[in-house]
Each structure stands twice: as structure tokens, then as C-alpha cells.
Amino acid sequence: MNRYDSVSSVVWFVVGLGIIAWSLLTLEVGTLRSPKGGWFPLVSGAMICILSMIVFIQAQRKKQEATGEGLYKEGCGGAIFGTIGILIVYALALERLGFVVTTFLVMAFIFIRIARASWLAGVIESTITTGICYYVFRFLLRIPLPKGLLDM
Amino acid sequence: MDVLSNILFGFHLILRMENLLMAFIGCLIGTLVGVLPGLGPPAAIALLLPVTFHLSPIGAIILLAGIYYGAMYGGSTTSILVNIPGESSSVMTCLDGYQMARRGRAGPALAVCAIGSFIAGTLSIIGLMVLAPLLAKVAIAFGPPEYAAIMTAALIILVYLASSSIPKALIMAAFGLFISTMGLDTVSGEIRFVGQIEELWDGVGLVPTIMGLFGISEVLINIEKIAGKQIDILTDKVLNLFPTKSDWQKFIPASLRGTVIGFFLGILPGGGAALSSFVSYAIEKKISKYPEKFGSGMIEGVACPESANNAATGGAFIPLLTLGIPSNVVMALLLGALMIHGINPGPLIMREHPDVFWGLIASMYVGNIMLLFLNLPLVGLWVQLLRVPYRILFPLILLFCLIGVYSVNNSITDIFVMVIFGVIGYVARKTQYEAAPLILAMVIGRIFENSLRKSLMMSDGSLLIFFTRPISCSFVLLSFILLLSLIFFEMKSIRGGIRR
């Protein structure tokens, strides 16, 4: 049995069922003669369910892979989850704190905590990165960036 | 004569200073993207998409196309000197290219890549120039059943060529089709699956999805891979760039064979540059008098896949420009870029927007010459870029992704979409689900759904409409044959554990 395929096929089956239920409950499906908005998503959901069952059956027949490697390499979990987390923090803080403050803080966190730079190097690198990006995107490419706290 | 006057018109456009500059910037960024592992052409194009909003349509498409074929050139440098392919399409170049470099022949290997790429790029543009108008004439007669049938075939071919499991690729395609239905249904006016999130009423954005699936997930994967790894660069071996007489005799025929294979495989949905280089290398090895020497530094093993992946870029433009159907993720992004500028690629593009079509073709000629000069004399500079540690590079990639996604619509929702797809992309790669079918299905999903629904309404619910029209019938039959063979392979695989 292949553990990843078994688990992923069950997840996909649930996703497919969810799509089917969502289509039936919130949209009009119509008929073949006059298909409505829910028809196409319903078919997509049904396809996902059927295909996930095939993946599940195949997974049961496969031999267990010997590697036993997890979803992420040992010791890298902090960096992976830290990166995902900091991206979410960036999205939440960007319009409140503004581009300059948010970018500086987030870059400093990435350089120091995830890329393992020293405090001083991390602060210098994030200051330079923020400054260059602000100049390039704000002035050269004229992309409007959130002003926030510093009104910049 | 018509083609000649049109291509002259294209050159007249491209030789304007602003368009030449766009072609140069595109080639430069493309080479950079190709050289640096960790940021592929899809993420780079998605990143620069917002910047092109301020450009003319022709300037935008020239810039973005330049990144694509520039990356094909640049990807070979890392393959030869570091044994790390900058792009998936350069994987095969590692086999013989790196061995040539280890034997002190990095210079000729790099030169063969650049010259072979130039030959292939130029010939594939000629193919595009000849084939695209012919196909466009046929495509004018297409109605909803033909489009629905072609898109079904496109999706199935894509899945057929998927390197991992077929059911997994189909799941990703079906999920992509579902995502394409999110937002406003243009036929009934209903809002589907996004509730009160107004930013998603126009649908889930292509840019945040691609940035997530390719940019963010790539960074997450590379954080694991490259952490602490020391890269060995063979810079001291880049001497005597010019190939010998015997090299020329060997690599020119290999390059021409690679061009033909690459061009036609590039047209196929999902074919693209990577598959072209794999297939052409396999064929070259098969027909060689010394197949056992492949992998030990054969110049044909460098010329053939490099020519094939460059020829594939020209081929890939054919279905995009004539049918409006992208054959790979990069083409899907270019389709998005054209649509943002109010241009709908399809059979009428040559009549309605000749400047875009012929300007793009002319820009590819000029771009190929620029790339030759960018890649050969500046190879030392590109190699130095590889010395930038990944711990500095990946925060920058993350930041560019964040700013790029936000700047498309000034929307925080898009950043969340990117992060969600980043996680999906990471888990999908770890569990061997490919992202490409999801993106392509998502891009063609809306047109596919509308064509399918219109066809069924036209026929009063009868599926026979797809069999009574010759073009749709041929594509439906092709889909059936491919599907049956897929089922056959899967059954065999389930019963006997035979790998496809």
C-alpha cells in the first residue's frame, strides 16, 4: 500500500463530494437539454470522485515504498511552515502597516529566522531589499503600494 | 508574397526603439531566469504581467515571449557548468553537457547550445509563419462543438503526456475545471462558489494561482533541497568557445533533427520544451552509431535536446495564436496577457491584430540574434550569478511574488489565493500530482464549459452533435482512442504493476 496515495485519494474523494454537494445545494443544475450553472461543476466533482477511487485502488496494490520520507525533510519543517506563516502575516499586515514597514519586518524575519543570517546581516539585507523594491516598484514601475503607518 | 509583406510589416514594427528595448529586456530577464534555478519562466512571466499593463499590447507580448525563449537559452548554462538544470527542459543537456565541461570542453558545449538554439529558434519561427495562417483559415469555420471537442482532446493529450500517474493528472485537470467555474457564470449570471468575496466574482486569478503553484511551491521545495548544499561551478573550464570542424559536422545534423522533433511536439498540448528535449535525446541516441557513448560528453547529446526545446517554443505559439488554446502554462499566461490588452487570440487575430501577430514573429527573429550575443560573450557573467547564495535569492523571489500578485488588482485576497495554491502546489509535488493539467484546465475551463453548454443547447441535449460534424467528430474519436489506451495502460499497471 502506498500511504501518500491512499491519503491523498481520500482527500480528493472528500473534495469531489464537497463540490457535488455544493453544486446541488447552491446552484441550479438543469438538464442535458438546458444545462445550468451547476451542471459543469457537478460533472467536475463526479470526475474527481471516480478518479480518486481509482488512485485509492492502485495505492492498495502498490508495494509500500521503503524510503519512509515525510511530507517535508527532517529539520526543514520550521522553515516550510515559517515561510507559509510569514506570507499570511504579510497579507494581513500589508494594508494596515503599509508596504515599507511590513516588507522590512517580513524580510528581516525571513533573512534572520529562515535563511539563518546574523541579526546585523539580516537587518542590513532587509533594509536594502525594502529600499530597492520600494524605489523600483513605486517610482520606476509606478505601481501604487499601500502607505500605512509611515504614509510613504 | 503575402507572408513576405506581412513579415516586413512585422520587422517595421519591431525595429522601433521601444519594441527593440522590450525584446532585449525580455531576452535578458529570460536568460537570467533560465540561469538561476528556483524561478522558472511561468513564475517570471506572472511576476512581470502587472508591469505590462502600462505597455502597448505588442510591447507586452514581445517582452513576455522574450522571457520564454530567453529562459530556454539560459537554462543550458547551469546544466553544463553546474550539472543543475535551470529549467526542466534543460535536464537532458546535463547528461552530456556537464561531462563535456568536466573534460575541459565547456566552451564548445556552451557554443553548441547557443548556436543550436539559434538554428532551432529561427527554423521554428519559419514553421510558425507558414503553418499558423493555414490553420487560422480552417479555424474560422469552427463553432461551439468543434471548440468543445478540441479542448477535450487537448486535455486528454496533456494527461496522456503526463509523466506521473494518469488518474492523478486527470484529478488535477478536473480540479482545474472546477476552479474555472468559480465566480460569475457568464451564461446565467449566477455567482458560483465564492459567496460574498467580491474580489473573486471575476473568477480566481490566473496570476496568483500560477505564482502559488510554481513560484511559492518552488521556493518551499528548494528550501529543503539547496539548504547547506555547496555548488561546484566549473568556471575555469570555459575556454575556446568555438567548436572544432568535427564538432560542426556532428552537431548540425543533430540540431536539425532536434528542431523538427521539437517543433511538432511543441504544438501538442502539454508537449512543450521539456518533453521535446527528452524525446529528441532518446531518438538521437537510438539512431546514433555510438549510443553507448551518450552520457559521456557527446556533442550531439547537447545539440539535439537544446535545439528541440527552442524549436518547441515556436511550435507552442501555433495553437495559441490560431485557436486561442494554450498548449502549456507559459502560453496560458501569454493568453491572459493578450486578453488583458483586449486581444482575443484565435483565427481572426491575423486580420484584427496583424501588428501583434507579425510583430511577435519578427521579434522572435530579432530576439534569437540578441540571445546569441547575450549568451556567448557574457557567459562568464551569467556563471557569476550562480554564486549568489540561495539564502539571499529565495527571500527576494518571495518578495517579488508578493508584490507582483498584489499589484495586479491591489488585492489582499490575491495574496491569500497565492499562498493557498503555494501550499497546494507543494503538497501536490510531494505526492506526485502535476500542476500543469490544473493550470491548463483552469485557463480553458470557461471557454470549454460555454462551448459544451452551447453545443448541448444547439442539439437539444443530444451528444450526437459532436459526431455529426467532421472536425468535432475527428477530435472526439481521437480523444476516445487516447482514453481507451490510457485505460488499457492503467488496467495493466493495476494488474501486473507494469509501469507505463
DSSP for B262-294, written as a single string: HHHHHHSTTTHHHHHHHHHHHHHHHH-S-GGGT
The pTM score is 0.80
**CB B170, CB B495: distance < 8 Å:** no
**A108 — contact with chain B (CB < 8 Å)?**
no
Q: Does A121 touch chain B (CB under 8 A)?
A: no
pLDDT at A69: 59
pLDDT, greater one: A44 or B471? A44
Interface test with A, best of B51, B53, B156, B168 (most A CBs within 10 A): B168
User: Is B223 within 8 Å of A114 when comparing Cβ atoms?
Assistant: yes
Candidates B55, B393, B399, B457, partner chain A, best to mutate (most A CBs within 10 A): B399
Q: Name the DSSP class of B393.
A: H
| Domain extent listing, chain A | 3-61, 77-150
Residues B51, B52, B53, B59: is their CA dihedral positive or negative?
Answer: positive
Q: How many whole angstroms separate alpha carbon A33 and alpha carbon B463?
A: 10
Q: Do B395 and A90 touch (CB under 8 A)?
A: no
Judging contacts by C-beta atoms under 8 Å, the chain A residues touching residue B425 are: none
- Contact yes or no for B126/B77 (Cβ under 8 A): no
* Closest residue of chain B to A40, computed from CA coordinates: B449
Q: Is 90 exceeded by the pLDDT of residue A117?
A: no
Residues of A within 8 A of B223 (CB-CB) are: 76, 79-80, 83, 114
The reply to whether residue B174 touches residue A22, judged by beta carbons under 8 angstroms, is no
Are B415 and A144 within 8 A, CB to CB? no
Q: CA of A151, closest CA in chain B: separation in Å? A: 17
What does the alpha-carbon distance between residue B148 and residue B224 come to, in Å, rounded to a whole number? 42
- Answer yes or no: do B410 and A39 touch at CB < 8 A: no
C-alpha cell at A97: 502597516
What is the amino acid identity at position B473? C
pLDDT tens, chain B, 500 aa long: 577 788 888 888 888 998 899 999 999 888 888 777 666 777 778 777 777 877 888 888 888 888 887 887 777 777 787 776 666 677 788 888 888 888 888 888 888 888 888 888 888 888 888 888 888 777 777 888 988 888 888 888 777 766 568 889 899 999 999 999 999 888 888 889 988 888 888 889 888 888 888 788 888 887 876 555 544 555 555 556 678 888 888 889 999 999 999 888 888 766 667 778 888 888 888 888 888 888 888 889 899 988 998 888 888 888 888 888 887 778 888 888 888 888 888 888 878 888 888 888 888 888 878 887 887 777 777 767 767 777 888 888 888 888 888 877 888 999 999 999 999 999 998 888 988 788 878 888 888 899 999 999 999 888 889 999 988 999 899 888 988 887 787 777 666 654 44
Q: Give Cα B174 distance to the centre of its chain.
A: 21
A19 neighbors B446 (Cβ within 8 angstroms): no
- CB contact under 8 Å between B449 and A107, yes or no, is no
User: Residue A126: its pLDDT value, please?
Assistant: 93
Element (H or E) spanning A88, and its range?
helix A77-97
Q: Say if residue A24's pLDDT is above 90.
A: yes
Helix (H, G, I), strand (E, B) or coil at B462: coil
Beta-bridge partners for B192: B183
Chain B residue numbers with beta carbons less than 8 Å from the beta carbon of A28 are 188, 190
B432: which chain A residues are within 8 Å (Cβ-Cβ)? 4
Which cell numbers in the block locate residue A82? 515559517
Instruction: Enter the DSSP assignment of B104.
Output: T
Distances (CA, A) of B329 to B9, B213, B262, B271: 29, 11, 17, 11
Q: Tell me if chain B has a CB within 8 Å of the CB of A137.
A: yes
Residues of B in contact with A52 (CB under 8 A): 167, 171
In which element (H, E) is residue B475 found? Answer: helix B470-496
Task: Give the pLDDT band of residue A152 (cuts 50, 70, 90).
Answer: low
Distance CA B337, CA B29 (A): 17
Q: Residues A58, B493: contact at Cβ < 8 Å? A: yes
Residues of B in contact with A54 (CB under 8 A): 167, 490
User: Distance from B212 to chain A by nearest Cα, in Å?
Assistant: 11
Please report the ipTM that was assigned to this predicted complex. 0.92
Flag if B178 and A19 touch (Cβ within 8 Å).
Answer: yes
For CA atoms B186, B191, B194, B197, the dihedral sign is: positive
Average pLDDT over residues A108-112: 91
The DSSP string of B148-181 is HHHHHHHHHHHHHT-SS-HHHHHHHHHHHHHHHT
| Chain B partners within 8 Å of A72 (Cβ) | 224, 430
| Nearest Cα to Cα of residue B122 among B134, B114, B133 | B114
Q: Which distant-in-sequence residues (6+ apart) come within 8 Å of B150 by Cβ?
A: B142, B323, B325, B472, B475
Pick from B386, B385, B371, B398: nearest CA to B31: B371
Written as nine digits, the cell of A18 is 464537497
Nearest chain A Cα distance for residue B431, angstroms: 6
Strands of B33-126, DSSP E: none
Residue type, B425: G
Q: How far is A137 from chain B (nearest CA, A)?
A: 8
Asked whether the beta carbons of B187 and B164 are under 8 A apart, the reply is no
Which candidate from B177, B192, B224 shows the least CB-CB separation from A27?
B192
What's the CA gap between B426 and B213, in Å, rounded? 7
Interface with B, mutate which of A22, A83, A96, A147 (most B CBs under 10 A): A83
- Which residues of chain A neighbour B188 with C-beta distances below 8 Å? 28, 36-37
Calculate the dihedral angle through the C-alpha atoms of A109, A111, A115, A119, rounding to the nearest 10 degrees. Answer: -90
| Partners of residue B49 in chain A, C-beta under 8 Å | none
